[in-house]
């Protein structure tokens, strides 16, 4: 088996997890019941592994980009998440198989982690934003009729921001740890 020299061990683990669990995680959206308030919207991203993986991957990816580009990538993701939500809520965009797009975006984000530092930061931000549209769209689509969508949306966006920031912290810690390991003198 050929070993890829540029693949960080943590990236390999995330990529393997995305391939193994990604397709089944996307089916974690059978319905959310009566989602009517900020607390439900805030709690939702923490309860779905697809959300946790996607948000953490974008944060981690952003942490590997140059400082100015890191915030651009996370802002692009959050803006596209909102765009996806709004495009579904207004009927502007119809996605043929949103669950498949969620699975594909989780795998795509894992792949971006593998090759992300070799791509231009604008391309990384654009791809992350495109993946976010499907995530935002599916949550608007699954909202029960008559529920408090704006309150749920606010909670959902706040929780997504928390997960993105957590992913950035994890990414920076792993980068610092990797740099220390590379700089150690051989025994």
Return the pLDDT at 165: 92
Q: In sequence order, what are the residues at sequence separation of 6 or more whose Cβ sits closer than 8 angstroms to the Cβ of residue 120?
A: none
Residue 12 forms part of a structural domain: no
Residue 75 forms part of a structural domain: yes
Residue 119's region, left for phi above 0, alpha for psi from -120 to 50, else beta, is beta
Q: Residues 78, 160: contact at Cβ < 8 Å?
A: yes
Return the pLDDT at 117: 65
Residue 128 forms part of a structural domain: yes
Return the pLDDT at 32: 42
- Domain of 155 in residue numbering reads as 34-178
Q: Residues 116, 65: contact at Cβ < 8 Å?
A: yes
**DSSP one-letter string for 115-151:** HGGGS-HHHHHHHHHHHHHHHHHHHHHTSPTTS-HHH
Question: In the chain, how many domains are there?
Answer: 1
Q: List the structure tokens of 49.
A: 């592994």
Q: List the structure tokens of 177.
A: 């740890």
Residue 114 forms part of a structural domain: yes
By C-alpha distance, which of 174, 176, 159 is closest to 54? 159
**DSSP one-letter string for 49-105:** HHHHHHHHHHHHHHHTS-HHHHHHHHHHHHHHHHHHHHHHHTT----S-HHHHHHHH
Q: List the structure tokens of 69.
A: 């580009």
Return the pLDDT at 62: 87
Return the pLDDT at 9: 61
By C-alpha distance, which of 60, 88, 58 is closest to 76? 58
Residue 20 forms part of a structural domain: no
Q: What is the CA radius of gyration of the chain?
A: 17
Return the pLDDT at 123: 85
Residue 6 forms part of a structural domain: no
By C-alpha distance, which of 95, 186, 187, 74 is closest to 137? 95
Tell me, rounded to whole angstroms, the distance of Cα 102 from its chain centroid: 10
C-alpha span between 102 and 182 (Å, rounded) = 35
Residue 100 forms part of a structural domain: yes
Residue 39 forms part of a structural domain: yes
What is the chain's pLDDT, residue by residue, as a tens digit (187 residues)? 444 445 566 665 555 555 555 544 444 554 444 445 677 778 878 887 888 888 898 898 888 888 788 888 888 899 999 999 999 888 888 877 777 888 888 888 888 888 766 778 888 888 888 889 988 888 788 765 666 778 888 888 999 999 999 999 998 898 888 888 888 756 5
Answer whether 0.85 is exceeded by the pTM: no
């Amino acid at each position: 088996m050929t070993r890829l020299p540029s693949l960080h061990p943590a990236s390999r683990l995330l990529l393997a997890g995305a391939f193994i669990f990604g397709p089944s995680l996307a089916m974690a959206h059978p319905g959310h019941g009566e989602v009517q308030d900020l607390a439900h919207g805030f709690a939702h991203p923490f309860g779905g592994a697809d959300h946790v993986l996607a948000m953490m991957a974008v944060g981690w990816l952003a942490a590997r980009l140059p400082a100015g580009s890191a915030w651009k990538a996370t802002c692009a993701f959050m803006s596209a998440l909102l765009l996806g939500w709004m495009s579904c809520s207004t009927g502007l965009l119809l996605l043929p198989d949103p669950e498949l797009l969620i699975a594909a975006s989780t795998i795509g984000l894992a792949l971006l982690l593998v090759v992300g530092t070799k791509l231009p930061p604008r391309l990384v931000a654009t791809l992350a934003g495109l993946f976010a549209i499907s995530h935002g769209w599916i949550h608007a689509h699954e909202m029960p009729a008559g529920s408090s969508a704006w309150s749920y949306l606010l909670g959902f966006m706040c929780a997504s921001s928390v997960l993105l920031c957590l992913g950035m912290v994890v990414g920076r810690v792993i980068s610092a740890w990797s740099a220390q390991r590379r700089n150690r003198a051989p025994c």
